Structure 1
């Protein structure tokens, strides 16, 4: 928009009062660019003409930049020139910085208390920067609502979109959601993972923040092989898969008695992720009394779950974990022990079938 300020008031000498006939329209520039701001003033030969920079929110804090055709500030990025033919005062700014954005006012000082003005806004394009008040991580219990927020500064104002890791489907549906707030009305354990808040405004590559959503849920226990057979005096591994968050306390029981590591049992846990744990109970050198039902139990603050594995007796040792396992006291007995295993090898599939 062109601003005009035209005064037809004559002073006591009969001279024409200065007028601003033209001011540059709003300017939008990239950081590092250059801009010319023109102000055409007529009948102002006897009056000071100034360029000022000011904040519209703080009009008392105006910064004088030039007076007539000379600069007031010492900044090599600024320069002034005056074209007498058009009576135009041009303020040039090169290598534009973000701080140069604002309002620039052309002033003609008529007296101590009287002036005429016109102004132009310089807007500087700035790449998005995600604000500190955006969500960084979130923990919610299954079934509860959860809300992730993302805000960003920059010019033009950035647009916000949401995505999931590996372009997985969002709980809201679809692979992209647009808006500052991503609200999940009822979270499920499948909703856990990394979410991306993306801010874009066409300047630069945009900005992204990774937001980790943790969903707390009660344990879920699965047993890959609920029935296992093994011969006396051999070892056997019983397994459970546990899914839970927070990570649960895991225990193994037989006949309602909690087991611990000793010469008969060895318990191990292997966490494949924060929510997944594989647990194994090795029954060592099986005795008759160790056959029966074993219970794998997992518990966290949200609940308890368990699974059962039955260990039953077979005549033929199951390999693994019995492969190459020897129980002997001398070299002679070792050869005697290996011979029956070799003879029974063709029957091994029958034992494996019994474990399914």
Structure 2
């Protein structure tokens, strides 16, 4: 295709223009270079014989991730199954794809191999566990800045599991006592406390204080019963459920005697008789002094 003759642009492309320095140099200017502009260009001088000069225009394009051909921003899979995350990118030169975890943890590509990063358009994960849950970064680069990335959140779904650290807790009347349970579940479960065989939930108030700490799929629940009365002793249940199942654990609070304070050493007169309350250390020293003064040394 002929683009220009002398200073006249023949091709109807507004981005192309010609310039001449008035002597020997002719310039072809291309504004807003596009990937389609790459190719062979020839400058021809119609002399006899004809002379020409050929040049090749290489257009470099920074990477761009193609969302339509990549995994969605959030992917969910049941625990124990396999999953493949896909990331496609375009650019010139062809972009390279690197996968990393956003939290800096290693990627478990199979149950026996863990790597800091993985190369390729597709990241295959086998028999995923809840530890694989989190954000994965697909980073595309080709040496032409800037590099680009896509964040894909991997959700691992599993039924609730529950652990009760202490199933028996002793506490005296009138004191406060705290019991707790630890839960792992996803999707996020509904979790609550109940007393004895009642299915009624326990709520925070003057009698009870509830604390729930969440860290991803892990939940730590604490229940404090204030100023224990005889009616407060019994079995407390920690219950959790989501769309995949439910679990519960029980803790029994029982009464123990209130501890007595340690007696202190005292001395004084009782009914006119000298009264001395000695601890073991004082008795030993007194006995040792008596032996030293009464033993018939020769």
TM-score greater than 0.5 by the shorter chain: yes
Distance in 2, matches of 1:142 and 1:285, equals: 43
Match of 2:60 in 1: 125
Distance in 2, matches of 1:124 and 1:346, equals: 88
Q: Compared with structure 1, are the counterparts of its residues 76 and 275 closer, same or farther at alpha carbon in structure 2 (3 Å cutoff)?
A: closer
Q: CA deviation at 1:74?
A: 7.8
**1:128-182: per-residue Cα shift (whole Å, max 9, x none)?**
1111122222111111221211011111010111011243111112111111011
Match of 1:47 in 2: none
Match of 1:59 in 2: none
Mapped pair 1:71 → 2:13: no
Match of 1:296 in 2: 238
SS in 1 for 2:107: coil
Distance in 2, matches of 1:227 and 1:169, equals: 39
Distance in 1, matches of 2:236 and 2:176, equals: 15
Match of 1:176 in 2: 117
Mapped pair 1:244 → 2:179: no
Contact 2:35-2:61 at 8 Å conserved across structures: no
Match of 1:31 in 2: none
Contact 1:264-1:285 at 8 Å conserved across structures: no
Distance in 1, matches of 2:6 and 2:261, equals: 106
Q: Compared with structure 1, are the counterparts of its residues 215 and 280 closer, same or farther at alpha carbon in structure 2 (3 Å cutoff)?
A: same
TM-score normalized by structure 1?
0.60
- List gaps (5 residues or longer) in structure 2: 45-52, 264-298
Match of 1:153 in 2: 90
Give the alignment partner of residue 287 of structure 1, picking from 218, 229, 233: 229
Distance in 1, matches of 2:76 and 2:262, equals: 55
Matches within 5 A, 1:192-207: 192-207=133-148
**1:84-143: per-residue Cα shift (whole Å, max 9, x none)?**
99xxx95533666235633456599xxxxxxxxx98753311111111122222111111
Matches within 5 A, 1:129-278: 129-133=64-68, 134-135=70-71, 136-172=73-109, 173-261=114-202, 266=208, 268=210, 270-278=212-220
Distance in 1, matches of 2:108 and 2:136, equals: 11
Q: Compared with structure 1, are the counterparts of its residues 140 and 271 closer, same or farther at alpha carbon in structure 2 (3 Å cutoff)?
A: farther
Q: Compared with structure 1, are the counterparts of its residues 293 and 187 closer, same or farther at alpha carbon in structure 2 (3 Å cutoff)?
A: same
Distance in 1, matches of 2:13 and 2:206, equals: 86
Q: CA deviation at 1:83?
A: 11
- List gaps (5 residues or longer) in structure 1: 1-51, 53-63, 109-117, 318-343, 348-356
Contact 1:200-1:206 at 8 Å conserved across structures: yes
Distance in 1, matches of 2:15 and 2:151, equals: 41
**1:258-305: per-residue Cα shift (whole Å, max 9, x none)?**
243477853635242342222222324323243233221211122222
Give the alignment partner of residue 309 of structure 1, picking from 251, 262, 265: 251
Match of 1:92 in 2: 28
CA RMSD of aligned residues (A): 3.5
Distance in 1, matches of 2:66 and 2:169, equals: 57
Contact 1:102-1:122 at 8 Å conserved across structures: yes
SS in 2 for 1:272: strand
Q: State how many pairs are aligned.
A: 248
